[in-house]
Amino acid sequence: MATPRCFHCREDVPAGVALTVALDGEPQPVCCAGCQAAAEFIRDAGLGRYYDFRAAPAPRPEPVADDAWTTYDRAEIQARLVTRTGAAASVNLLLEGLRCPACGWLVERRLERVAGVAGIAVNPASARARLEWRSSEVALSALLRTIHELGYRPHLLGATDTLEVAARERRVALRRLAVAGLGMMQVMMFAVGLYAGAFSGMDPLLREYLRLVSLLVATPVLFYAGRPFLEGAWRALAARTPGMDVPVAAALLLAWSASVWNTLRGSGEVYFDSVTMFVFLLLLGRYAEMVARHQAGSTNDALVRLLPASALRIRDGRGERVAVADLAAGDEVAVPAGETFPADGTLCDGPALADESLLTGESAAVTKAAGDAVIGGSVNAGGPVRLRVTAAGHDTVLAGIVRLLERAQTERPALARLADRWANWFVAIILLATLAVAATWLVLDPPRAFATTLAVLVVSCPCALSLATPTALTVATARLARRGLLVTRADAVEALARADTIVFDKTGTLTVGRPVIRTIAMLGPADADYCRRAAAALEWSSAHPLALAFRNVQGALPQADAVHAVAGGGLEARLDGELHRIGSRDFVAALAGPAELPDCGLYLGRAGAWLARFEVEDALRPEAARAVADLAGLGLRPVIASGDHAPAVAAAANAIGVAEYHARLGPADKLRLVQALEQQDRQVAMVGDGVNDAPVLAAARVSIAIGAGAAIARTSADLVLIARGLGALPEAVRMARRTVTIIRQNLAWAAGYNLVALPLAAAGLVPPWLAAIGMSASSLLVVANAWRLA
Amino acid sequence: MSGAWPAPLLGAALALGLAGSLHCVAMCGGIAAAVGARLSAWSRRGQALLFNLARLGGYALLGGFAGLLAGGVAGHGGVAEHSGMQGPARWPRLVAAILMLALGIQLLAGRDWLGLERAGAAVWRGLRPLTGRAAALPGMWRPLALGVLWGFLPCGLVWSALALAASSGSAPAGVLTMLAFGAGTLPAMLAATLAGQAALGRLGGRNPRRVAGLLMLAFAAWTALGALLATAGGHGAA
């Protein structure tokens, strides 16, 4: 019989040991009294389930709808997601529902027992797993199914997964931090001994020994843990710019080499304690900043994760399970109740209930009718429906949003660039000042010159100055994204905080953007039905919000050729060969001839004849008045700039409580208006629908696009409001202002600290170790202050 | 405590704790992970810390007893008495080195050589019934009480550290010694509580006990070397 293994620690039980522990009434062998006690402790604390998790996970099979996993065995899908080296394949997984370390453990243990699995490592903190297997022995689908049976839903992640990268970065940073921390503790211990010895007399041999050991410990701390700083300094020097790592690296190398020299020659001061402490504290500051950055990145990741991996495509009346990547525009897919819409599309049947909360931050599900557009990533909260795909993969709204977010996160905001430039100047000044200090002290008091020079270098590191802005912006951006406002440009937050005028487009911005035809007044020879169909034909291809009013017109539309839009006027086209116009009174009058008609509503006419006047109505957003009042309370002057006719705009302005409004503005007029405002030194925030208002949005100091459907993905606006409702705007302004306040505090603190500490250090009042603490505390304070925005 | 700050003793205890970390993870990683897994998500860190600090509290209690007992037995004048600021005391470190050596051998041999665990098991039997009651406590009290009890688990390492604490010869010095020892084990065990043993599982390779044993021997050698050099220093200064 094989040697029994200890139930607790899984080591072999030594011969002659007959200890057991009773678990669920079953005696289990243990190797020693310690393991026995530990097992009893776990059992008595009511945690006996831990052993089940660890040893023999009871499969909890759950019926899998169709079989979603076999899709992953197909080569074209694996090609994108699976990395292959010879017979071995590996893939990164995200395990949905993974919450605790024991769960991660469970998955590892379960998969390790599957033949063909070469390795599985689960990180419970980020719910990520890396799975390696030999594809000749086991199919990926079988492994995924196994994981799913345990109660976790695996998602495949692309080969270049950002979270994986972030996790690796964090791992390395933690390792460096650990090396620095442990080394620091050791060296500090020796340093205490050395200081004590310096006071009470110490045997030189012991002193030499302690110094030598300190050297041995401090060296890897500097060159392994401190490598980022040394490399940063090297890069800065190679680029001939004084980066902020330069004084840090200079201080570290100076202190270390002087200490090495003094250790070897057996006299003089050593600074190994300051070196290790400085490295450790600097790393701590960078780590805090990195965590903030990664949290912002996880927003993108959460969005990407919204899309399911496979979908049920309907072809020739039969459903087949395909990867979402295989979907193309025009496909029809079935979306069961409770599942996620796999792509953008229009509903084939309805009504349906779509929950877009993950995209918009809005919790209530929206009712959609057949023909309505649905955004991929929202959840089908109603019964099963069919969807006609209009955009899949990289063309979806979701993909566009992620691209926008990535753009903001990779851009460096002007404020940060400014701080960097200051920091560069600052560094140059520090280096010069340090030389001056060193020279002065060499003349006045040579023995203290080195320590003082060192302290100056350390104390004046502008790390806090460089961290002040980006950390605050990162935290604020992540917070705004959670509230449904995406920041797509790094400078947007600051600009929004400064805005003092807010210009709204009316249609689709202050109104819900679902216009309906209220009345039709017949003006000419044609009947109402013809006029409706003619108008619908003209408006068919228009992206103007009002065009939506004609979408539901029934009957065969006349053939429209040579359609073209005249900005601020309307549309012109040949309908069955005859030129027609729809639009403002003056625009149509140019074709139909002069007439005494009021300048409101949409006119339809052809050469020499007025046909009809449509009154189109678009309801105001219910929250518009409240949001505008809030914004006014924040000191922003609200202005409405609309292309609509004056009575409609006036009515809307009155209802919302806006005193200043402009009607009948084409895009060029709106642009002029915004430019005029800016010439009066107003900081204009422009809120529009993203497509029709693109030029104005681009001209305004800060632009906010109201997202609806596909348009948001292509917008150039600085901010995109994907939450339905304007209520997020006042909050965003407040948030932006707080962010700028925090940035100012951070900059003031960082600059103030450096200004105060530098003279003190130069005067020789700050020992190097205190300088290290002061400088690092300053950085940590700045990062902690930024965290208040979260 | 009468003047003498047992710094070398504390250093030795801290080193013992650090050196023992691997052993701790092998033996108690399960407890740490099992309790850690049950902690609610948002207060995890705080509770994990509480749980581990309570364990240190348990150690401190033991250390106080050990110091008191030893002080009583030896009359006044434990090792702490000799470890003034005048010269680095060699005894605590030598004792620690010898304990580490013994423990290292014990780990490598895989048997309870010193009888320490058996002695501990006897104490533990008296405390065991409390575990169930501790686990039923509400809120913060649960990790706290479980943690203190955890500190009393019979573990060779803890009992070696206790011998070290006893060598201090006074209750406060014993408490401090055990706290220093606990602090040494804190990083590894805190990590095990939060990240789960899985994260640390590969730390010792295929045979964590052997690795822990070897590491312990290395630390013993290092500590002994330091102590011996300090001895030389002591003579030189005298």
Q: What was the ipTM of the complex prediction? A: 0.71
- 3-state class (DSSP) for residue A114: coil
Percent of chain A, pLDDT > 90?
A: 6
d(CA A172, CA A608): 77
Mutate to test the interface with B, among A13, A23, A41, A177 (most CBs of B within 10 A): A41
Provide the mean pLDDT of chain A. Answer: 78
CB of A97 within 8 Å of a chain B CB? The answer is no
Which parts of A658-781 are beta strand (E)? 660-662, 684-688, 702-706, 719-721
Helix, strand, coil fractions of chain A, as percent rounded to 5: 50, 20, 30
Provide the mean pLDDT of chain B. Answer: 69
Least confident of A317-331, A397-411, A574-588, A695-709: A397-411
CB contact under 8 A, A36 and B121: yes
Fold of A310-393: 2.70.150
A326-355: pLDDT as tens digits: 788 888 888 887 778 888 888 888 788 887
At B76, is the pLDDT very low, low, confident or very high (cuts 50, 70, 90)?
Answer: very low
What is the domain partition of chain A in residue ranges? 1-56, 70-160, 167-301, 310-393, 489-511+621-733, 516-617
Least confident of A73-77, A585-589, A630-634: A73-77
CATH class of domain segment(s) A516-617: alpha beta
Q: Helical H runs in A221-363?
A: 227-238, 245-265, 272-304, 357-360
Residue tagged active-site, from A344, A505, A618, A693: A505
Instruction: Name the closest residue on chain A to residue B15, using Cα atoms.
Output: A186
Classify residue B71 by burial, with Cβ atoms within 10 Å: 0-12, 13-18, 19+.
Answer: buried
A706-747: pLDDT as tens digits: 865 445 555 667 888 876 678 889 999 999 999 999 988 988
d(CA B163, CA B115): 13
Contacts 24+ apart (CB under 8 A), A228-237: A228/A176, A228/A283, A228/A286, A229/A279, A229/A282
Q: Which superfamily, per CATH, for A489-511+621-733?
A: HAD superfamily/HAD-like (3.40.50.1000)
Q: Helical H runs in A97-203?
A: 101-112, 140-149, 162-200
d(CA A508, CA B58): 67
d(CA B147, CA B32): 10
CB of A34 within 8 Å of a chain B CB? The answer is yes
CB of A37 within 8 Å of a chain B CB? The answer is yes
All residues at 6 or more sequence positions from A22 whose CB lies less than 8 Å from its CB, including other chains: A28
Distance from CA of A469 to the nearest CA of B (A): 28
Residue A397 pLDDT greater than 80, yes or no: no
Count the neighbouring beta carbons within 10 Å of the beta carbon of residue A299.
19
What does the pLDDT read at residue B52? 85
Rounded to the nearest 5°, which phi and psi values hold at A490? Answer: -65, -30
d(CA B194, CA B36): 6
d(CA B141, CA B36): 15
Nearest CA among A441, A439, A434, A440 for reference residue A455: A434
Instruction: Name the closest residue on chain B to residue A207, using Cα atoms.
Output: B233
Nearest CA among B190, B160, B227 for reference residue B13: B160
Nearest CA among A112, A114, A107 for reference residue A151: A107
Q: What is the CATH number of domain A70-160?
A: 3.30.70.100
Distance from CA of A172 to the nearest CA of B (A): 15
CA atoms within 13 A on the CB side of A203: 17
pTM for the structure as a whole? 0.54
Q: Helical H runs in A411-512?
A: 414-444, 446-459, 463-482, 492-498
Mean pLDDT within B173-182: 87
Residue B236 pLDDT greater than 60, yes or no: no
Nearest CA among A164, A162, A403, A174 for reference residue A297: A162
d(CA A477, CA A409): 9
Query: Among A33, A41, A205, whose Cβ lies nearest the Cβ of B150?
Result: A41
d(CA A19, CA B94): 34
At A159, is the pLDDT very low, low, confident or very high (cuts 50, 70, 90)?
Answer: very low
